[in-house]
Structure 1
Amino acid sequence: MTWLRAFKEVVRSGLTIEETRLEPLLALRTAAGVAIVIGSVLWLASPSYAAAAALGAYSAGGATFQRTCRPRKVIALAGGAGLALSTFVGYLAAGRLATFLPLLAVWAFVAGMAWAVGSTAGIVAATTVGSMLVTITLPTSAWRALEHAGVIALGGVAQAVLILLFPIRRWGAHRDALADALAAVADYARRLRHDPTAPFDPESLMAARDAAAVTPSQARTRPPVLHGPRGLAERIRPVLAALADPDIGAPAEGPGRDRARELLDAAADVLDTAARSIRRGTPAEVPPESVDALRVDEEHEVLEGSARQAAEQLVELLGEAMEIAATGDDREPAPAPPGPVGAEFLVRPTLFRLVPVVLRAVRRELRRDSPVFRHAVRLAAVAPLGYLLATRLPLGHGYWAPLTSVMVMRPDFHRTFTRAVARLAGTLAGVALATAMVRALGSGTHVCGALAVVAAGLSYTVIRTGYAYSQCFTAAYAVFLLGMAGQAWEQTVPERLVLTLLGGALAMLAYLAFPAWETHRLPGRLADWLAANGRYAAAVFRNYAEPTREHHAAMRRALLASRKAAAAWQESYDRARREPVRPRGLTSREAEEAQEALKGFGRAAMVMENHPPRADRRSVPESKRFAEALEADTARAAADVREHRNPDWKRVKEALHAWDGAAGDRGPVVRRGAELQKRALDDFATAVTRTPLERDVSSAREDQRVRAVVAGEGDESGVAHQGG
């Protein structure tokens, strides 16, 4: 992607309204927490204390809107505590630049490394840096700083108490994750009707697995409906693929294919109904025509062999889904099973037990080529530099510049630049809105306090529709809050605009000075995915050779690792497509072809997983040799991809040849699956195999294609402009 096209994409993304479901009741409850804190502290203390308390309540409330399955009250308490600690520590060092700037750099670095744990931890940690920057406006003594830290923590406590007293859609995130997984499998069934080899994105299943992990206290109160359907979605997906596959399942044409389409359509209806029931917590009725389609007639069933086996499995599994849809969620929570919680549930560590997990994650990212480490270094450099530059300007509130930088910076190029553009646009709109409201209603303490609460509520309402739109009301909230503390809005508005522009520019320049381009990481991500897929496929074939509980457990672990590697590749690939840098060793066309080949490779393994050998059937010993060859070749090919060498499948070919020479016809379905995987590996080798001359030609063609696309977009925009 060219720089011009990248910046066009940045502006477009920064100002795009994201289609999402608004949650006005949650926004109202969180804004009520801000109102209670501001009102009570204004009554009991002073406007400056009220502004500090509002900072804690607003930031802790915003943290509860992050996409996480941890209890919201725990997040509010943790956010308030972190803000209070950073405020107090920052004040102790704020008297001299020689102490404050090093502390700010270290704190910003630690906050940047919090992204090793996840986006929620990284965003909440960034708000603590903002709190430390605001610390410099607090008055006079360590005791007063402790008081301000206490009222900031009170804001988080207030939000947690409101969440406890007025729960809104409890277990809502868990319900949505599970319902999304079932709905994704339903969509997969519909796509298989038209495309028997349609791909499936496992992201929804991964999110459902993450949501299924609970703390010991959550395990005692989780609704029964959230216990089993995730495993149901996991089991149904490979059955659908096996039924639709023209090589192993239903025939490509004829009555068998029509019957498979009928079953797939009925499966989609049942799964959608179950997803609706789980999301709403109420019973739902499956369409009668779908129930009729799932009746298997022993005499007139047209499906045979493995296709019929898949159909019978599908009907049995969908029966469980219909039971879930019919019962809804009208039962009492099931008591926790005896014994350790981990024996029954996926366990999520509590915040205290999360400490060693966090330390291990951070240690893994402490390397120069890590995007998280580079992000932390950029934060550590920009926060003190922005503060130092802003204090040299003839403007007040110099902390706004580094605060802007800290809040817009992300570990990747696109989100950093998008948020910088969105924050500037939102700030412009927000200060204009605040100016108009203050002129119309006045700038008294109580008026500004009320306007701040309204702005906070509107910010929470649109927080998931786009950063620019939430930032509009956040900027207005900041102006109102300063007005409540006695600052003249005529002074704060121009300061806010200039310093926001400075902070956004510093954030973008910092990324360009010390980038972490995902484009350069693509070969490594692709190699990781290939090796993980190879281990998963090998585990499937080992289970055919010796169908034991240990091999089945190994197959499950390999599947989860393969999904994780695929998700990491997809994230890197999506980011790389938006970066203005030339590819190294892997052009975009090669990446697309290799991606499709690996999807086919993983899909073939998934289909084979659905046809395990029954207890009364002989195992397939040839599959063990094939498994060893598959794992060895894919591991070696992964190293070749990293070093930009051409892969080959010598051991896999030899194992297939030996299989053909074996006596008898044991495991024809397994043998056919091995051929499908070999075909996918050949497609992968074709995608990434290039001579040096071919690579040069491919790179030149890639540049020509990009220039043609950019020119075409320019022509289209010109035509649209003339037509308008």
Structure 2
Amino acid sequence: MAAGRPDYGALASMGALSAVIGDTADAYRMRLFNIAVPQLFGALGVTLGTLVHGQGWTAVAVVTAVALVSGMISSIGAVASASGLLLLLNAVVGAGLPMPGPWWKPPLLLALGGLVVLVLALFGWPLRGGVPERSAVAGTYRSVAGFLEAAGGPAHDERRQAVTLSLNRSYDLLLSHRTRRHGRSPALARLTAQLNAVIPLVEAASSAKLRPAALGPLSPAYPAAARRLADAVERGGAGRRAPGTALPGRTSPVLDLPPPTGPTERAVDRALRYAAEVMQEDTPDPFGATDRLGRPAELRIRARRTARAALVSEASWRYGLRIALCIGLAQVLVSVIAVPRSYWVTLTVTFVMKPDFGSVFSRAVLRALGTAAGLLIAIPVLAEVPRGWWDVPTLALLATLIPAFSAKGYAFQTAAITPVILLLSDQLNQQGFQLVLPRLYDSLIGCAISLVAGYLLWPESWHSRIGDRLADAVADTAAYVSLAFATAPGRDHPARLRHRRGLYRDLSAVRSEFQRALTEPPPTGALAAAWWPLVIAVERIVEATTATRVRVDHGVPAPPAAEVAAITRELDDLAGALRTGTAVPGGAAPEQEQEPAPAAGADGGTGPSGAGGPVTPGGPDGEEGVLDPLRREVRAARAIAAPAPG
């Protein structure tokens, strides 16, 4: 404004806006990538758009090609998704709005706006490097403490899901670093070891659900000890120690645990003490540490394969073609028909059709509602606020609404962004209040194109594959049940730990997919609602398996292999029925067909087999058979999947 070039300021502000929205990571290194890489793609996009501005069908072809590339790269990962969005978004803006020349100025101005945000975001890195990582791991320990408090109670499942999300977030944060810095960061190796040490504690907390209700909740000393461990992680510490000495600046957490009285208490006690020992270890060997998801080298190879597979997969091409079709139709429409501020039609399609942002149907509806609400905010601003210096405090005030509203949902985010974009656009074309109605019309046209060409014309949009995803999860659960009891008590199978962590991550993704499907219109929404209880039932089967294995490791007699095989077969049958859409073989096993069998020894001796057959009695803190809780969860899942009589 002081230089008399508000159009320059508008472009820089657009770059800053996209950088702020993309700054969603916690760790500074990830914030650097989340902001910088998409900004480079955005600069490329606005360059391409500026070069074809006003060139008719050439602009249509270029923007459509950019849409194809944007859709294909969006499935690689979060940073690639944001990069694809900015590539297409800025290409549309450059092709639709007159930009200040020469051609290199618009990308430079957008990049400078993003650079301001990047500098502010990384300002504390020299003083606070590593703090977000430690906070994430400490937060996982605190979520486990809440899980221990709720173990066996009404909030048990909710707290378990919170632990799963926290573990996913912490592993993503640490492993994304280790794939690039493997062998060069003792601090990250130590944090990874501390995060690995929480896994036995999570499994022990799961076993508390199987304790008889008469014993009451676990002692409050256990969650208190977990919170002291969290404090120790957050305090951090550095340096090596000589044998027999404490780490500099670090004291051993005082656990103050009661004497264990049963298998669950023994499991929790041992897990807490093990975690406390890890807190005091020398810096772990960064080349020898194996985390619960596999070695970092394997993750690096897997990441490359994932990116390569995403670029050549049929799903990526189909989504790229969907976006290209919608963008192409929008560009053709505004080229043939005189539509005021026509680039808004294509911008709306860009936001609605973003492949990893959820349901196209619900986003189109929410986009229309959010735009209408945002225009109600913009109308008095454009009508009453004088253009010029008043725009600066007005934009600053409106911008504060974006983070506050974004957390409430997509419609709220759209409502907050709309008046900001209108004011910035007005700096480039000086239309004032005349922007309001065209903005509404163009958004409605863009939403209609997305619904028809991007949703209704593609059967996979409304013929959901959630049944196949659920069947895969059940089959993986069957494999986990088999692994869980493949070794003698006290001798765990390394593959079980990795399989369990990966299975919980997959189940979390399935849960998110089902929650998105619930927002779809029939038949997808109705199908997701009908199968939602089965998603919860599968999660409970995984937890019951883990809890049973923990109890076997701490005193409960091991189940016969034949009984484990029978449960595995039931789960395989359920997976097959879900995949084919047929009835579950044999239906749900009757609840009362079982007779107690002699207790199996620690070596897992054999006994009668078959679904609903004899069971092994429980251990010291319960009378029920060791596999009975798992059987009940499997029966419940099969009953949900079985068709209703008649």
TM-score, structure 2 normalization: 0.77
Taking only aligned residues, the RMSD between alpha carbons, in angstroms, comes to 4.7
Deviation at 1:685, TM superposition (A): 2.9
Following the alignment from structure 2 to structure 1, what is the Cα–Cα distance between the partners of residues 526 and 366? 34
Deviation at 1:502, TM superposition (A): 2.0
Deviation at 1:566, TM superposition (A): 1.8
- Asked whether 1:211 is paired with 2:173, we answer yes
Counterpart contact for 2:464–2:524, Cα < 8 Å: yes
- Asked whether 1:310 is paired with 2:264, we answer yes
The correspondence for 1:236, drawn from 201, 213, 224, is 201
Following the alignment from structure 1 to structure 2, what is the Cα–Cα distance between the partners of residues 151 and 476? 21
Q: Residue 638 of structure 1 aligns with which residue?
A: 575
Counterpart contact for 1:269–1:287, Cα < 8 Å: no
Q: Residue 635 of structure 2 aligns with which residue?
A: 682
Following the alignment from structure 2 to structure 1, what is the Cα–Cα distance between the partners of residues 435 and 268? 64
Following the alignment from structure 2 to structure 1, what is the Cα–Cα distance between the partners of residues 288 and 18? 33
- Asked whether 1:598 is paired with 2:535, we answer no
Following the alignment from structure 2 to structure 1, what is the Cα–Cα distance between the partners of residues 468 and 628? 27
Following the alignment from structure 1 to structure 2, what is the Cα–Cα distance between the partners of residues 170 and 464? 26
The correspondence for 2:472, drawn from 523, 528, 545, is 528
Determine helix, strand or coil for the equivalent of 1:184.
helix
Counterpart contact for 2:50–2:95, Cα < 8 Å: yes
Give, as a single letter, the amino acid of the residue that structure 2 aligns with 1:241. S
Give, as a single letter, the amino acid of the residue that structure 1 aligns with 2:642. T
456-465 or 375-384: which moved more?
Answer: 456-465
Q: 1:61 to 1:666 in 2, by over 3 A?
A: closer
Q: 1:425 to 1:355 in 2, by over 3 A?
A: same
Give, as a single letter, the amino acid of the residue that structure 1 aligns with 2:264. A
Q: Residue 162 of structure 1 aligns with which residue?
A: 120
The correspondence for 1:494, drawn from 430, 437, 442, is 437
Following the alignment from structure 2 to structure 1, what is the Cα–Cα distance between the partners of residues 462 and 539? 21
Q: Over residues 416-456 of structure 1, what are the superposed CA-to-partner deviations in whole Å (9 max), with x where a residue is unaligned?
A: 44444444444445445445345554212x44355444433
Following the alignment from structure 2 to structure 1, what is the Cα–Cα distance between the partners of residues 464 and 359? 18
Deviation at 1:386, TM superposition (A): 1.9
Following the alignment from structure 2 to structure 1, what is the Cα–Cα distance between the partners of residues 351 and 375? 18
Give, as a single letter, the amino acid of the residue that structure 1 aligns with 2:308. L
- Asked whether 1:129 is paired with 2:129, we answer no
Q: Residue 192 of structure 1 aligns with which residue?
A: 151
Q: Over residues 193-236 of structure 1, what are the superposed CA-to-partner deviations in whole Å (9 max), with x where a residue is unaligned?
A: 53698573233322232223142459738579844443343211
Q: Over residues 365-420 of structure 1, what are the superposed CA-to-partner deviations in whole Å (9 max), with x where a residue is unaligned?
A: x24xxxx6654433212222223323445443210111012113354897444444
Q: Residue 11 of structure 2 aligns with which residue?
A: 52
Q: 1:491 to 1:448 in 2, by over 3 A?
A: same
- The aligned runs of 1:546-557 (5 Å cut-off) are 552-557=493-498
Counterpart contact for 1:543–1:612, Cα < 8 Å: no
Q: Residue 112 of structure 1 aligns with which residue?
A: 71
Counterpart contact for 2:334–2:342, Cα < 8 Å: yes
Deviation at 1:579, TM superposition (A): 2.7
Q: Over residues 11-65 of structure 1, what are the superposed CA-to-partner deviations in whole Å (9 max), with x where a residue is unaligned?
A: xxxxxxxxxxxxxxxxxxxxxxxxxxxx7xx74x944443333322221232113
The correspondence for 1:82, drawn from 32, 37, 41, is 41
Following the alignment from structure 2 to structure 1, what is the Cα–Cα distance between the partners of residues 569 and 151? 32
Q: Residue 61 of structure 1 aligns with which residue?
A: 20
Q: 1:362 to 1:390 in 2, by over 3 A?
A: same
- The aligned runs of 1:147-296 (5 Å cut-off) are 147-167=105-125, 174=133, 177-194=136-153, 200-201=160-161, 202-215=164-177, 216-217=180-181, 220=185, 222=187, 226-246=191-211, 251-253=212-214, 257-258=215-216, 261-263=217-219, 265-272=220-227, 294-296=257-259
Following the alignment from structure 1 to structure 2, what is the Cα–Cα distance between the partners of residues 417 and 184? 35
Following the alignment from structure 2 to structure 1, what is the Cα–Cα distance between the partners of residues 526 and 309? 32
341-350 or 558-567: which moved more?
Answer: 341-350
Counterpart contact for 1:270–1:321, Cα < 8 Å: no
Counterpart contact for 1:64–1:76, Cα < 8 Å: yes
Deviation at 1:271, TM superposition (A): 3.5
Following the alignment from structure 1 to structure 2, what is the Cα–Cα distance between the partners of residues 56 and 385? 27
Counterpart contact for 1:111–1:125, Cα < 8 Å: yes
The correspondence for 1:383, drawn from 327, 330, 349, is 327
Following the alignment from structure 2 to structure 1, what is the Cα–Cα distance between the partners of residues 564 and 95? 63
- The aligned runs of 1:433-512 (5 Å cut-off) are 433-437=377-381, 440-444=384-388, 446-449=389-392, 451-485=394-428, 487-509=430-452, 510-512=454-456
- The aligned runs of 1:640-679 (5 Å cut-off) are 640-648=577-585, 666-667=603-604, 672-679=625-632
Q: Which runs of 5+ in 2 are unaligned?
A: 238-248, 605-615
Q: Which runs of 5+ in 1 are unaligned?
A: 1-38, 698-724
Q: 1:62 to 1:582 in 2, by over 3 A?
A: closer
Deviation at 1:132, TM superposition (A): 0.4
Counterpart contact for 1:74–1:160, Cα < 8 Å: no
Counterpart contact for 1:435–1:489, Cα < 8 Å: no
Deviation at 1:538, TM superposition (A): 0.8
Count of residues in correspondence between the two structures:
605
Determine helix, strand or coil for the equivalent of 1:559.
helix
Q: 1:335 to 1:516 in 2, by over 3 A?
A: farther
Give, as a single letter, the amino acid of the residue that structure 2 aligns with 1:130. L
Counterpart contact for 2:558–2:600, Cα < 8 Å: no
Q: Residue 714 of structure 1 aligns with which residue?
A: none
Determine helix, strand or coil for the equivalent of 1:165.
coil
Q: Residue 701 of structure 1 aligns with which residue?
A: none
Counterpart contact for 2:185–2:286, Cα < 8 Å: no
- The aligned runs of 1:337-348 (5 Å cut-off) are 340=287, 347=296
Q: Over residues 489-534 of structure 1, what are the superposed CA-to-partner deviations in whole Å (9 max), with x where a residue is unaligned?
A: 1332332222122223333333233354577323212211111111
Give, as a single letter, the amino acid of the residue that structure 2 aligns with 1:267. Y
Q: Residue 405 of structure 1 aligns with which residue?
A: 349
Higher helix share: 1
Q: Residue 565 of structure 1 aligns with which residue?
A: 506
Give, as a single letter, the amino acid of the residue that structure 2 aligns with 1:481. L
Following the alignment from structure 2 to structure 1, what is the Cα–Cα distance between the partners of residues 301 and 566? 44
Q: Residue 71 of structure 1 aligns with which residue?
A: 30
Counterpart contact for 1:269–1:286, Cα < 8 Å: no
TM-score, structure 1 normalization: 0.70
Give, as a single letter, the amino acid of the residue that structure 2 aligns with 1:569. V
Following the alignment from structure 2 to structure 1, what is the Cα–Cα distance between the partners of residues 154 and 377? 51
Q: Residue 99 of structure 1 aligns with which residue?
A: 58
Following the alignment from structure 1 to structure 2, what is the Cα–Cα distance between the partners of residues 462 and 597? 34
Q: 1:382 to 1:68 in 2, by over 3 A?
A: farther
Following the alignment from structure 2 to structure 1, what is the Cα–Cα distance between the partners of residues 355 and 534? 26
Give, as a single letter, the amino acid of the residue that structure 2 aligns with 1:397. R
Following the alignment from structure 1 to structure 2, what is the Cα–Cα distance between the partners of residues 184 and 449? 43
428-437 or 666-675: which moved more?
Answer: 666-675
